[in-house]
Structure 1
Amino acid sequence: MAKIVNIRRDVDDKFYRYKMPSLLTKIEGKGNGIKTVIPNMSDVSRALSRPPTYTTKFFGSELGAQTSCDEKNDRYIVNGAHQADRLRELLDVFIDKFVLCASCKNPETDLVLTKNEDIIRDCKACGQHTGIDMRHKLASYILRNPPKKAKKTKGTHATASNGGATGGNGSPDEEGGSDDEFTKKLRAEAAVLPTADQVKVDENDWSLDTSAGAVRARQKTLEASVAGLTLGEEESEGEDPDSPYSILGKWVEENRDGSAVGFYKKAEELGVERKSKAVQIIAQKLFTDDVVKELEKFAPLFKKMVTSEKHQKALMGGIERFVGADQPELIPLIPKILMVLYQADILEEDFIKQWGTHVSKKYVDRDTSKKVRKASDPFLKWLEEAESDDE
């Protein structure tokens, strides 16, 4: 049984109220299959009020190692041989970055996702909202796998009383930079709202005409608008040339030399920046023969827009159409494309494995889907070898 230690190991007070089990490790396998199992990861994570997958993924990120999280069987693994002392040191870093309140250093915090896709620590002890470092690789994982009890809050709520997400006195940057570089650029280039003096109001149009004729006219206009739309995001491409997705696709083709921020702002202007369909359209229309280098350039854009498994599917759906249907000669580049997306933490390992082994005819015909996935075999094999074990 693991001994009980203070959550903050820098606190020597034996009466310190916040305790957790000491992290245990067990090394299994040999050769390329050697791995470190953490048998009490669930107990440690429960004491920290964080999912055990967060801590495991953090270890993998810091050590540059593959990880395996089997929640059903309560088994958490970091590839390679890692001593318990080293993982305990990394656990201290995790606690400091993702558990302790940056203001009072109390571990009574919950992770909360804001409307602006920032992550804050909501402290129950002092009431402060302090941001985490959104540049860390784990932040992207948390956004895609939010805590089960996490609540979406509006950006204004995150900066409520007591200094909000910035701590007591400052900007988000003072708390370790809660915004990634892409988000900072977006905010820097945000348009300034007009002042009251700049807004002109037509004095003859101060009220809504409620006459029967006006109501019928508005109803016809609404019906005409609705007629061009379909429910959800599964509308066929080209179905409505005036739909935001058709407009976005055409704009992307005409502005391939633009910036990642420019593409995001256009999607935002059309009101589809959070839609998986928008990710698919951009992935299908943006690239040329030099797709690998272009992916590296626009990785921040996709990292900002891809926030769920549905978005990951849409991203690969757009790429399937691009290389499978539009430029089949680029199909051999699929392993390099996957590597860029994987290293940029846009696609998750589990998703890539699922995608690579399940043919789908959602975006292209079945034969083309098979060819694209067959081309991914070298990358899938590389993933398997990276986490191979004695089995």
Structure 2
Amino acid sequence: MAAVMIPIDPDKKDDVYYRYKMPALQCKVESSGNGVKTVLPNIHEVCAAINRPEDVLMRFFQFDLGAQTTISKKDDKYLIMGSRQEEQMQQSVYSFIKKFVLCGQCKNPETVVHYDAKKKSVTKVCGACGKETKWEANRAYTTMYMYYKDHPEEATAGKGTAEARKRSCCCTAPTAAAAASAEKKATKTVIAASDLKDDRKDRSRCL
């Protein structure tokens, strides 16, 4: 069954013009010899919408709900021990979004994680206003840092972010100037190396 699309920012639930949507987190309660557990069948779609890894969100659930979580890569299953209601799980997702997704200044969800190996830190960079927000040091932050330390390729500013655009402009300006200079030199070279044939002797013979 397709998940209901809801606003990424919970404070925008009554704003009909808000365009950033995500699928509501689905829950499926299963019971077996190992006890009752809740499966999250559409966690991939949720994490794709908020641009954050599943592993980090699952660790956040563990801290936020005080519950054991299990990830079975082989079966592609993301489990939380105990019976969990969708409303409770969605509230936990929103807590994660407020802390680790929404821009600290403009509240835009188009943020990316920036990993600084030298400073040993991770921050979020907004693609709309360019604001770089630092996170409070806690267990959830440590999980975020450790994940991106192991996966630095996933912690780069996207092409559409303000930071990336700024870098692009800085790089483009000198490149354009160099190109213009090269073109000017090439034009001068062509004129100086003119190989037009001198036919004055030929004309004098005709006369």
Could you state the TM-score of these two structures normalised by the residue count of structure 2?
A: 0.68
Hey, what's the Cα distance between the residues in 1 that align with 2:10 and 2:125?
22
Q: CA deviation at 1:72?
A: 4.9
Aligned positions of 1:1-391 closer than 5 A? 1-11=2-12, 12-29=14-31, 33-114=35-116, 115-135=118-138, 137-146=139-148, 147=151, 148-151=153-156
Which residue pairs with 1:254 in the alignment? none
Hey, what's the Cα distance between the residues in 1 that align with 2:75 and 2:110?
28
- Cα gap change, 1:30 to 1:70, in 2 (>3 Å): closer
Are the counterparts in 1 of residues 56 and 147 from structure 2 also a CA contact under 8 Å? no
Calculate percent identity across the aligned residue pairs: 38
**What is the CA deviation profile of residues 141-191 of structure 1, one whole-angstrom value per residue up to 9, with x for unaligned ones?**
222221542149xxxxx9xx9xxxxxxxxxxxxxxxxxxxxxxxxxxxxxx
Q: CA deviation at 1:118?
A: 1.9
Amino acid at match of 2:83: A
Amino acid at match of 1:2: A
Hey, what's the Cα distance between the residues in 1 that align with 2:120 and 2:137?
10
- Cα gap change, 1:72 to 1:121, in 2 (>3 Å): farther
Q: CA deviation at 1:74?
A: 2.8
Tell me the matched-pair count.
Answer: 153
Are the counterparts in 2 of residues 5 and 22 from structure 1 also a CA contact under 8 Å? yes
Hey, what's the Cα distance between the residues in 2 that align with 1:150 and 1:72?
25
Are the counterparts in 1 of residues 41 and 77 from structure 2 also a CA contact under 8 Å? yes
Are the counterparts in 2 of residues 41 and 52 from structure 1 also a CA contact under 8 Å? yes
Q: CA deviation at 1:117?
A: 1.7
Q: CA deviation at 1:30?
A: 5.2
Are the counterparts in 1 of residues 113 and 155 from structure 2 also a CA contact under 8 Å? yes
Hey, what's the Cα distance between the residues in 1 that align with 2:113 and 2:73?
20
**What is the CA deviation profile of residues 63-91 of structure 1, one whole-angstrom value per residue up to 9, with x for unaligned ones?**
12111123454311111111111111111
Q: CA deviation at 1:10?
A: 1.7
**What is the CA deviation profile of residues 30-61 of structure 1, one whole-angstrom value per residue up to 9, with x for unaligned ones?**
57621111000000000001111111111111
Are the counterparts in 2 of residues 6 and 16 from structure 1 also a CA contact under 8 Å? yes
Give the structure with the higher percent strand: 2
Amino acid at match of 1:42: H
Are the counterparts in 2 of residues 118 and 134 from structure 1 also a CA contact under 8 Å? no
**What is the CA deviation profile of residues 335-386 of structure 1, one whole-angstrom value per residue up to 9, with x for unaligned ones?**
xxxxxxxxxxxxxxxxxxxxxxxxxxxxxxxxxxxxxxxxxxxxxxxxxxxx
RMSD of Structure 2 on Structure 1 (CA): 2.2
**What is the CA deviation profile of residues 66-124 of structure 1, one whole-angstrom value per residue up to 9, with x for unaligned ones?**
11123454311111111111111111100000100111111000111222222211111
Amino acid at match of 2:155: A
Higher Rg: 2
Could you state the TM-score of these two structures normalised by the residue count of structure 1?
A: 0.37
Are the counterparts in 1 of residues 22 and 49 from structure 2 also a CA contact under 8 Å? yes
Gaps of at least 5 residues in structure 2 are 158-162, 167-207
Hey, what's the Cα distance between the residues in 2 that align with 1:121 and 1:74?
28
